[in-house]
Amino acid sequence: MKYEEFVEGTEYESDERVVSLGEMLAFAELYDRQAIHVGASAQRPVADGPVADRPAADRCAPVIASGYLGLAVTWQLWLDIGVFGEDAVAGVALEHARWVRPMEPGVRVRARVRVTRTWVSSKGKGMVQLQLHLVDGADELLSFETVAVMARRADG
């Protein structure tokens, strides 16, 4: 989608996907080796699924996803919607990232994306600001961030 086609206030919603324990651990091993993310403090195996569905003795989730995995998953879900197609030129900013709730193994997530601002830069580049929310299957907000992306203009 070209810059000129983006309309402030337009909202998009992605399909849902599951974030598995294996994906969480693999990401953490590579990029965020904190004990809460790699399971180093866990004394027993962790099953996928919400903490509330586990027996009382297992309700302390020994592993939660890295917040950075949440950002990456949100971006992947946004790209999968296909709005940009071949017209995204470059990401130029990531602002206001917040992690509201932990992402647990086996959680079902989807992205909600809103076009919050469009403008032409001083160099004539089309800029699109997006607010991205990652929500779980119960519609609870897990994280959000604001990004700015340069989008190809209709005139080249």
Spatial distance between the Cα atoms of 83 and 117, rounded to a whole number of angstroms: 16
How far is C-alpha 133 from the chain's CA centre? 7
Residue 3 above 80 pLDDT?
Answer: yes
For 123-138, how does the pLDDT look when each residue is reduced to its tens digit (9 = 90+)?
Answer: 999 999 999 999 999 9
Over the stretch 75-111, which tens digit does the pLDDT of each residue have? 999 999 999 999 999 999 999 999 999 999 999 999 9
pLDDT at 42: 47
Report the distance separating Cα 79 and Cα 75, nearest Å.
6
pTM of the model: 0.84
The region, left, alpha or beta by phi > 0 then psi within -120 to 50, assigned to residue 145 is beta
> What is the separation of C-alpha 50 from the centre of its chain, rounded to a whole number of angstroms?
19
pLDDT digits (tens, 9 = 90+) for 65-77: 999 999 999 999 9
Domains of the chain, each with CATH number or no CATH: 3-151 (3.10.129.10)
Q: How confident is the model at residue 49 (pLDDT cuts 50, 70, 90)?
A: low
CB 55: neighbour CB atoms within 10 A? 6
Quote the pLDDT of residue 58: 52
pLDDT above 70 coverage of the chain, percent: 85
Mean pLDDT (the chain) is 88
